[in-house]
Structure 1
Amino acid sequence: MSDPVHRDRRRKGRYSSSSAAAASAPPPVPPRLPAPAVDRTGPAILLMCATAFIFAVQDGFSKVLGSEYPPVLVVMIRYWVFALFVTALVSRQPGGLARAIRTRRPLTQIARGVILVLESLLIVEAFVRLGLVETHAVFTSYPLLVAALSGPVLGEKVGWRRWTAIAIGFVGILVILQPGGGVMQIEALLPFAAALMFALYGLLTRHVSRDDPSIVSFFWTGIAGAGGITLIGIWHWQWLAPVDWIWMAALCACGMTSHYLMIRAYELAEASALQPFAYTQLVWVSIIGVAVFAEELRPNVVTGAAIVVGAGLFTLWRARIRTAG
């Protein structure tokens, strides 16, 4: 038998060796936690503000060219370049052109493209007749029209709060128009009709998004729009003066850049978070209209535009609350 002293030494030896092994072993690896979600709303807002500025500059070029040539010609050339841009862009996406052409709602996609190009035509005509400031003051009503038409077009429920905001917004439009004075009512129908078409385009875009991805809708917007405007604009063809081709190139460059930045912005953040910042275009348009084209910034236009923008922001906020709920 081993004596108690030896047994105690062996026991201590085993304890010390196990303790040393535990001390030399690598520490346990904690479970890998998922990386925290990166909030990219800030960069998206900056992109949207940049987009609004470029859109305002683009509108200035449209006014310059629309004053010298038929607006339908200006829009047609711009859409030719836009169609080439869209085609090149979707060709680099997964599936390429073959995927972009496939749509489950071809008639609706064509209607979207035609409606948007007609809206572009009306807005350029309004720039020439009314100026940038008053055209955009009326055009800012389109979010209100989206809210009003979302019921009959998409079957969405519009509550009394949003209906109240819509009514207040249209009061703002009356302040802008000053019935009996200020903007001529017939001419004011141009930006209002353009806002109506843009609202309908937006609702149809939401409708087709249930079946088609955004890249398909983007492709059809450019192709259908270019085809539709060519049927009308080709009969008004005339060569531009050499210097005016520079203005046209700047217009097309602004169009491609603004659409690309807008796509990037919507990839980084939700549309409901970005849409309020699209109203900054009204600020830039007012600056360009007054500084470059010597337009008058009348008090009723400023007041009415503030009412319309405020009502539009409220409808966007209510729509966001309803979606979140």
Structure 2
Amino acid sequence: MSPPVSSAPLTHQPLRGLVLILGATLLFAYNDTTNKLLITDYNVPMVTAIRYITHCLLMLAIVAPLHGREMVRTQRTGLVVIRAGSLALGSFLMSLALQRMPVAEATAIIYLCPVLVVLLSGPLLKEKVGPAAWVAAFVGFTGVLLIARPGGGLDPLGVVFALGNVCLALSYNLLSRVLARTERTMAMLFYSALVGAIGFGIFLPWTLHGAAPTPVQLVLFAGLGVSAWLGHYLFTQSYRYAPAALVAPMTYMHLVWAGILGLLVFGHMPDPIAMVGMVCVACAGIISAVRPRRGERPAQLAAEDGTTERAG
């Protein structure tokens, strides 16, 4: 799912956009897999803090010299901070879910969020919601029920944490839609990193414990921040080069990458019923992404769909 699109001009380079979105979804799956590896040895608040601190330092070192004050200038700072807090808390809940669930199943559940964004954009944002959106919602909920069904072997508390992430991601994405009209992409990305870094960083004196990390774990810790920052950046760029109807369905490659990495790293293969559920969730998202909307130009669609972003 993608970060808000700024006012920079769009160009039509669909192949470039698809390459960028494939890279972004691979980075997100890598981030989830790395997160799950690290939280087997370290506590979730510490891992989350290091991720956000690394993300924030990268933006200060690389982005700040290029954007200067524009990176911190906002018009509705309160809503920007609430949006960032939703992302940070959502990331925390996602980590707790990954502690108890396989990567593929946890990832599939959080992809219920884009469908809910479409449904709630009607009553909350006064956007038109057609029959296709309700079909997508039904298919998506069916998929989640198949994945998280009783007797499916998933930790119930892990499922609760994943659904909590969906709720926070919903808040995050709806605020992204509202704020995309007035706020710059880089400013929102920076405040997302800053709020997470401060919110979890202040607890580091009490959470920074455990065995000294190995060289491999140090690389993994650094990779958390790098993959989060670079993944969101590639998502932003992909919507500049290709229309939303082309890019948005490709975000479901995240499910494919998550399944592959979960199999390679943890040896986990979802059972057949869960696989059917994952396909249902992906189909629901694709229906939402390509549903017909009359009277809107491609650029408008890109601006609208470009505000659906993962929280995790």
TM-score after normalising by structure 1: 0.81
Q: For the structure 1 residues 311 and 92, does the alpha-carbon distance in structure 2 shift closer, same or farther, using more than 3 Å as the test? A: same
Q: Does 2:117 align with 1:146?
A: yes
Tell me the residue number matched to 1:237.
208
Distance 1:211 1:261 in 2: 21
Distance 1:211 1:99 in 2: 13
Name the stretch that deviates more: 44-53 or 181-190.
Answer: 181-190
In the TM superposition, what are the counterparts of 1:65-76 in structure 2 within 5 Å? 65-76=38-49
In the TM superposition, what are the counterparts of 1:241-260 in structure 2 within 5 Å? 241-243=213-215, 244-260=217-233
Give the gaps of 5 or more residues in structure 1.
Answer: 1-36
More relative contact order, 1 or 2 (CA 8 Å, 6+ apart): 2
Distance 1:270 1:202 in 2: 19
Distance 1:38 1:101 in 2: 26
Q: For the structure 1 residues 130 and 38, does the alpha-carbon distance in structure 2 shift closer, same or farther, using more than 3 Å as the test? A: closer
Distance 2:15 2:192 in 1: 28
Which SS does the other structure have where 1:260 is aligned?
helix
- Who wins on radius of gyration, i.e. which is larger? 1
Alpha-carbon contact 1:145-1:196 (below 8 Å) kept: no
Q: For the structure 1 residues 270 and 84, does the alpha-carbon distance in structure 2 shift closer, same or farther, using more than 3 Å as the test? A: farther
Q: For the structure 1 residues 38 and 151, does the alpha-carbon distance in structure 2 shift closer, same or farther, using more than 3 Å as the test? A: closer
Q: Quick one: which of 290, 294, 303 aligns to 1:317?
A: 290
In the TM superposition, what are the counterparts of 1:11-90 in structure 2 within 5 Å? 39-90=12-63
Which SS does the other structure have where 2:266 is aligned?
coil
Q: Quick one: which of 224, 228, 232 aligns to 2:195?
A: 224
Name the stretch that deviates more: 119-128 or 60-69.
Answer: 119-128
Deviation at 1:266, TM superposition (A): 2.8
CA deviations on 1:215-265 (whole Å, 9 max, x unpaired) are 221221211222222244543122642332232123333233323322332
Q: For the structure 1 residues 253 and 103, does the alpha-carbon distance in structure 2 shift closer, same or farther, using more than 3 Å as the test? A: closer
Distance 2:198 2:125 in 1: 27
Distance 1:322 1:179 in 2: 44
Deviation at 1:148, TM superposition (A): 2.4
Q: Does 2:62 align with 1:105?
A: no
Give the gaps of 5 or more residues in structure 2.
Answer: 1-9, 299-312
Query: Which amino acid in structure 2 is aligned with residue 199 of structure 1?
Result: L
Tell me the residue number matched to 2:277.
304
Distance 2:236 2:81 in 1: 20
Aligned length: 287
CA root-mean-square deviation: 2.2
Alpha-carbon contact 1:131-1:295 (below 8 Å) kept: yes
CA deviations on 1:98-117 (whole Å, 9 max, x unpaired) are 22222111111111111111
TM-score after normalising by structure 2: 0.84
Q: Does 2:163 align with 1:192?
A: yes
Tell me the residue number matched to 2:252.
279
Distance 2:146 2:261 in 1: 22
Distance 2:205 2:262 in 1: 30
Deviation at 1:166, TM superposition (A): 0.6
Deviation at 1:321, TM superposition (A): 5.3
Deviation at 1:78, TM superposition (A): 0.8
In the TM superposition, what are the counterparts of 1:206-217 in structure 2 within 5 Å? 206-217=177-188
Q: Quick one: which of 85, 98, 114 aligns to 1:114?
A: 85
CA deviations on 1:11-37 (whole Å, 9 max, x unpaired) are xxxxxxxxxxxxxxxxxxxxxxxxxx9
Name the stretch that deviates more: 291-300 or 250-259.
Answer: 250-259
* Percent of pairs with identical residues: 29
Alpha-carbon contact 1:151-1:158 (below 8 Å) kept: yes
Deviation at 1:47, TM superposition (A): 1.1
Q: For the structure 1 residues 213 and 250, does the alpha-carbon distance in structure 2 shift closer, same or farther, using more than 3 Å as the test? A: closer
Deviation at 1:282, TM superposition (A): 0.7
Name the stretch that deviates more: 61-70 or 221-230.
Answer: 221-230
Query: Which amino acid in structure 2 is aligned with residue 303 of structure 1?
Result: V
Higher helix share: 1
Tell me the residue number matched to 1:134.
105
